[in-house]
Amino acid sequence: MFVTKSRNRLVTVLVHILIWAVFILIFYIQPLSWNIEVPVQLWIKNGIILILLVMLFYFNSIVLVPRFLLKNRPGIYLLILSAAIAFVVVFNSYVDYWLNLHQLLDNAWHKMGPPKHHHNGDRHEWDFGMIAAMIGASALVLGISTSITTIVKWQHDKQVHLELEQDRVSSELSFLKAQINPHFFFNTLNNIYALTLVNADTSRKAIHQLSRMMRYVLYDNQNSTTQLSQEIAFIKDYISLMQLRLTDKTKIEFTSPLTLADVAIAPMIFLPFVENAFKHGVSAVQDGFIDIKIDQQDSVIDLYVVNTIIKEQSNSLEAGSGIGLNNTRRRLDLLYPGKHLLAINENAVQNTYSVHLTINLL
């Protein structure tokens, strides 16, 4: 974000430099094409008028546009601009009179012989031409000033809106993640509590394994991303922990990529789908299975979770999925907009519940 602001500021400065370089060329190069000995007073006058136009440019940019045009007061704004242009025209005529430029230029042209097309000696026509030139130059300076100021204001407003939106998304993601972590923790504690009633040794092993997992949850994944290998290792630990309380009635299959190319991925993005399978797909008395597969094709990651539907657990898997799945859907929308596909299907005929999540990490 800082780099973007610095680049925009640099572009703005370069544009201003380019604008005034063009005006300097017009004011100081164009008189050289007259084929006369240009009096020094003309260079002095052009410098004075150029300084006046610079002041007009930034007065319009800093004061008039923000206070009137952008405050939806165009009438007053146009009235002030008209007065400013009139002032430039009158001031230019006064400088011409003060420096006696009319006489000096007349003398310079007369020395060159017959009048050229630049000047025919008619004082009124000369004055009219200078008035038109000053009006045109002033209007051009004000038009450029207004355009640049409004564009910069639009870019600034857009940047502020983007930062506010990013802050909102970051806050929402933090809130969702904060909900998922205790959700996982309390569900796992319930499972371990059930183990303590059956096998104390197994429950101690489960508590040790849970402490390792919670270290990952609380410390290792506090950044916005984690490595895919770490996320897969966490899923393996979770499956191993869940298997401690399962009977032979439930068959567990887990497959991960044989050759893993580590990439950054949102932490605990797979857990709610795996957790949901164990919550609704296992039973101590009914046969069932849970198949979990993580596949990788370059930057595309696929998660497949299929489990049997244990009717005694819940009549509606979607309704009973809790905050885990709901939050994960929202996290996916925020983290991978347009780059993920989530397909969930409940097959009543085959008595299975399947999840297929595809994430493009590019």
DSSP line for 80-132? HHHHHHHHHHHHHHHHHHHHTHHHHHHHHHHHTSS--TT--S-HHHHHHHHHH
pLDDT of residue 136: 87
**pLDDT surpasses 70 at 315:** no
Is 278 exposed, middle or buried (CB count within 10 Å of its CB: 0-12, 13-18, 19+)?
buried
Contact in structure between 298 and 290 (CB atoms under 8 Å): no
pLDDT of residue 9: 74
Is 272 exposed, middle or buried (CB count within 10 Å of its CB: 0-12, 13-18, 19+)?
buried
pLDDT of residue 292: 96
**pLDDT surpasses 90 at 353:** yes
**pLDDT surpasses 70 at 122:** no
| Span 240-292, pLDDT tens digits | 888 877 888 899 999 999 888 899 998 888 988 998 898 888 887 888 999 99
Please indicate whether residue 11 or residue 277 has the higher confidence score (pLDDT). 277
> In this structure, how many other beta carbons lie within 10 angstroms of the beta carbon of residue 106?
15
pLDDT of residue 173: 52
**pLDDT surpasses 90 at 60:** yes
What mean pLDDT, rounded, does the chain reach?
A: 79
pLDDT of residue 357: 96
Query: What's the chain's length in residues?
Result: 362
pLDDT of residue 254: 95
- Specify which of 13-17, 72-76, 246-250, 308-312 reaches the highest per-range mean pLDDT: 72-76
pLDDT of residue 190: 72
pTM of the model: 0.54
The residue-averaged pLDDT of 164-171 equals 65
User: Which of 39, 43, 41 shows the shortest CA–CA distance to 98?
Assistant: 41
pLDDT of residue 209: 75
**pLDDT surpasses 70 at 323:** no
Least confident of 66-70, 120-124, 270-274: 120-124
Domain annotation for the chain: domains and CATH numbers: 2-163 (no CATH), 198-360 (3.30.565.10)
DSSP code of 66? I
Confidence grade of residue 118 (pLDDT, cut at 50, 70, 90): very low
